Structure 1
Amino acid sequence: MKKTLILETDYMTLGQFLKEINVISSGGQAKWYLADTSVFVDGELENRRGRKLYPGMMIEVPEEGTFFMAKKEESADEAE
């Protein structure tokens, strides 16, 4: 299943991402999850919980799906 995750900031770490999609319950679990599970960032195997994820990147998590990182669109009020 393909999903889009909207970034509220410039980037998000892989550990934060895994917590955001409810794969882990705390950031400390990211290291162990990545040691046991093959997670791909832009098609490459990634095991660093601190890997920065930027808009335009694709993350594949087994049993969870494929996620696309997107930047939050500014509303007209925020741009002024």
Structure 2
Amino acid sequence: MSNDNGKTVLALFAGIAAGVALGVLLAPEKGEETRTKITDSANKISNDLREKVLEGINKIRAKKDEYAQSTSDLADEILS
């Protein structure tokens, strides 16, 4: 994931979190219900963000392995 894509995803999640928090805080509900909704929303956003980070890490690992294999193949070709 490029740096710009990472910033975009982070900004998106921050916007979603802010929108959810404002919506929940402005809704006419009891304090406990509001806190539960905020906690649930925060957990969902956290899980979504964790999933995106893991996807990015897996893509980086795959590219690393691909480049390592390409480099190894090229070295073998040069040495033979």
The answer to which structure has the higher helix fraction is 2
Q: Normalising to structure 1: TM-score of the pair?
A: 0.27
TM-score by length of 2: 0.27
Structure with max Cα Rg: 2
More strand by share: 1
Higher relative contact order (CA 8 A, sep 6+): 1
